Amino acid sequence: MGAAPAILVVDDDPDHRFLMQRAIEDAGYRVETVGRGSEALLRPDEFDIMLLDYRLPDMTGLDVLRVVMEMEGPSVVMVTAMGSESVAVEAMRAGAVDYVVKGSGYLQQLPHVLERAFRAHDLDRRARLMQRMAILLTSSLDRREVSREILAGARQVLRADACALYVRAPGGDVSVLTDGSVAADATMVQADVDAMLTGHRIDPEVGSYRLLVPLPEHDDRGRLGVLAVLTDEPRTYAADELRLAETFASFAGIALANASRLELERSLVTELQQTLDLRRTMVMSLSHELRTPLTCILGFAETILGHWGGLSEGDRQSSVATIAQHAHDLQGLVEQLLDFSALEKGGLDANLEPVQLDEEVADTLQALAPLVGDRTVDVDVEPVTARADRALLRRTLGNLLANAVKYSATRSPIGVQVRREGAVVRVTVEDAGVGLSPEEASHVFEPFWRGHQAVSGALRGSGIGLALVHEYVRVMGGEVSVASSPGAGSRFSFTLPVAG
**Domain segments of the chain as ranges:** 6-129, 131-260, 353-497
pLDDT at 152: 79
pLDDT at 137: 58
Report the percentage of the chain scoring pLDDT > 90.
Answer: 24
- pLDDT band of 452, cuts 50, 70, 90: low
| 417 or 148: which leads in pLDDT | 417
Residues 246-284 pLDDT 10s:
888 887 787 777 777 777 777 788 888 877 776 776 666
pLDDT in tens, 53-101: 998 999 999 999 999 988 877 889 999 876 677 888 888 888 898 888 8
pLDDT value at position 283?
A: 66
| Rounded Cα distance, 222 and 199, in Å | 7
Instruction: Judge whether residue 50 has pLDDT over 90.
Output: yes
Q: Which CATH class is domain 6-129?
A: alpha beta
The pairing of beta strand 377-381 with beta strand 414-421: parallel
Count Cα atoms within 13 angstroms, Cβ side, for 32: 15
Q: Which residues lie across from 75 on neighbouring strands?
A: 49
CATH no. of 353-497: 3.30.565.10
Q: How far apart are CA 262 and CA 278, in angstroms?
A: 24
Task: With a cut of 90, say whether residue 357 has pLDDT above it.
Answer: yes
**Residue 227 pLDDT level (bands cut at 50, 70, 90):** confident
pLDDT of residue 183: 43
Is the model more confident about 166 or about 42? 42
* 430 pLDDT tier (thresholds 50, 70, 90): very high
**189-218 tens-digit pLDDT:** 777 777 777 777 777 776 677 888 888 766
pLDDT at 494 over 70: yes
Give the integer Cα–Cα distance in Å for 45 and 370. Answer: 91
Measured between alpha carbons, how far is 206 from 239 in angstroms, rounded to an integer?
A: 12
Residue 33 has what pLDDT? 95
Fold of 131-260: Beta-Lactamase (3.30.450)
Q: What is the pLDDT of residues 1-33, one digit of tens each?
A: 456 889 999 999 999 999 999 999 999 999 999
Task: Give the pLDDT of residue 414.
Answer: 92
What average pLDDT is seen over the chain?
81
Inter-CA distances, 238 with 201, 205, 262, Å: 18, 11, 36
